[in-house]
Amino acid sequence: MPLSFSATRDLLASLGHQPKRFLGQNFLVDGNIVRKSLELAEVRPGDTVVEVGPGLGTLTAALLEAGAEVWAVEKDRSLHAHLESTLLNPATHPDFAVRFHLLEGDAVEHPLAALPTERATAGFKIVANLPYAIATPWLDGVLSGPLPTRLVLMLQQEAAQRYAAQPGTKSFGAISVFLQAAYETAPGHKVGPGCFHPRPDVDSYLINLVRRPVPYVFTAAVKTIVRACFQQRRKQIGSLLRNHAPAHATAARELLLAHGLSEQARPEELPVAWWIQFAGTPALA
């Protein structure tokens, strides 16, 4: 599969395909970054790996060559057809065709690319050059479980910073809470615009997320409350919870005191541990 700018450009031309900005189609043209993705994810033969937006199949082929079984979801019909005719072609890739499962669809609607639940619960990883526009809604779906043991995601650097942001910073938000309750951030890798075709206008980052020994998954009801609070992040948490979760305001007040915080604190000042404890109060659990 193509790994250089010229090979990628020529293949796109032969397919008559123009990269679609609204789908976040920035194709990797740097083999070192592909290898780094597999290295960070510690991909081994026999691993089950989910990929989002495989595009031309550059990363997909590397995953398959490493011995992984890959479940991928591709929204673009022409790229889906290209992958079917290449990596899923038993005449040219008989081994790949057995281990590659390709779904045509929207990754937000199919965050695990139709990976069967029983396979997911047995353990899987996600390695993806993620379309930037869908990063947060897609990740929110992944965090509903079953949870992958590892996520190595190519993201816009700003998004990666938001996911790893610490309490007390402007970047810390609802998605930071949901993600950090379940994952620890391991060393990643910065990626410049020149590693893609076409070149994006921003820097990217390979974020490396390792599932916690005891991950916490927020319910949909609690997520709604947390998001509502962060959407009014300059307001005080006491008044926010009286508005958005009045039945739980007393329990929240007691938790604030236990953490040495006051009702005047803003949502971004509350640590992830506080939100987990709040979610676990009897009325919400």
* 229 and 204 in a common domain: no
Q: What is the pLDDT of residue 251?
A: 86
pLDDT tops 70 at residue 214: yes
Mean pLDDT of 216-224: 94
9 lies in some domain:
yes
Scanning the chain, the segments in alpha helix (DSSP H) are 5-15, 31-41, 58-65, 77-85, 94-99, 117-121, 135-142, 157-163, 174-180, 220-231, 237-244, 249-258, 272-279
Cα–Cα distance for residue pair 145/76, rounded to 1 Å: 26
**pLDDT for position 250:** 85
CATH code of the domain covering residue 142: 3.40.50.150
Q: Is residue 230 located within the same domain as residue 258? A: yes
What's the domain range around 68?
5-211
Side-chain-side CA neighbours of residue 212 (13 Å): 12
Report yes or no on 147 lying in a domain.
yes
Q: Is residue 70 domain-shared with residue 138, that is, in the same domain?
A: yes
With a cut of 70, say whether residue 169 has pLDDT above it.
yes
pLDDT confidence of residue 282: 64
- Indicate the residue among 211, 230, 247 that finishes a domain: 211
Residue at 285 is within a domain: no
| 24 has pLDDT over 80 | no
Residues 242 and 165 in one domain: no
Q: What percent of the chain has pLDDT over 90?
A: 80
Question: Does the residue 60 lie in any domain?
Answer: yes
- Let me know: does 102 contact 88? Beta carbons within 8 Å: yes
Q: Angle CA(158)–CA(50)–CA(145) in degrees, nearest 5?
A: 80
Same domain, 173 and 199: yes
Q: Which of 211, 246, 263 is the last residue of a domain?
A: 211
Residue 266 has pLDDT above 90, yes or no: yes
The terminus-to-terminus CA distance of the chain in angstroms comes to: 48
Residue 168, in any domain of the structure:
yes
| 145, 257: one domain | no
pLDDT on residue 22: 72
- Locate 266 and state its tokens: 């803003």
Banded pLDDT at 227 (limits 50, 70, 90):
very high
What pairing do the DSSP bridges indicate for beta strands 204-211 and 183-191?
A: antiparallel
Cα torsion through 172, 174, 175, 176, rounded to 10? 40
User: How far is residue 266's CA from residue 236's CA, in Å, rounded to a whole number?
Assistant: 5
Are the CB atoms for 74 and 55 separated by under 8 Å?
Answer: yes
Q: 211, 232, 251 — which closes off a domain?
A: 211
Averaged over 268-281, what is the pLDDT?
Answer: 92
In a domain, 29, yes or no: yes
| The total number of structural domains that make up the chain | 2
The verdict on 175 and 233 lying in the same domain is no
Measured distance CA(7)–CA(28) in Å, rounded: 11
How long a stretch of residues is the chain?
A: 285
- Residues 180, 225 within the same domain: no
Q: Are residues 144 and 224 in the same domain?
A: no
**pLDDT (tens digit per residue) in 113-126:** 999 999 999 999 99
Q: 128 with 173, same domain?
A: yes
Nearest-angstrom CA–CA distance, 110 and 80: 15
**CATH number of the domain residue 232 falls in:** 1.10.8.100
Whether residues 257 and 179 fall in one domain = no
Shared domain for 154 and 242, answered yes or no, is no
In this structure, is residue 135 part of a structural domain?
Answer: yes
284 lies in some domain? no
Q: How does residue 129 score in pLDDT terms, banded at 50, 70 and 90?
A: very high
In this predicted structure, the answer to whether residue 283 has a pLDDT above a threshold of 70 is: no
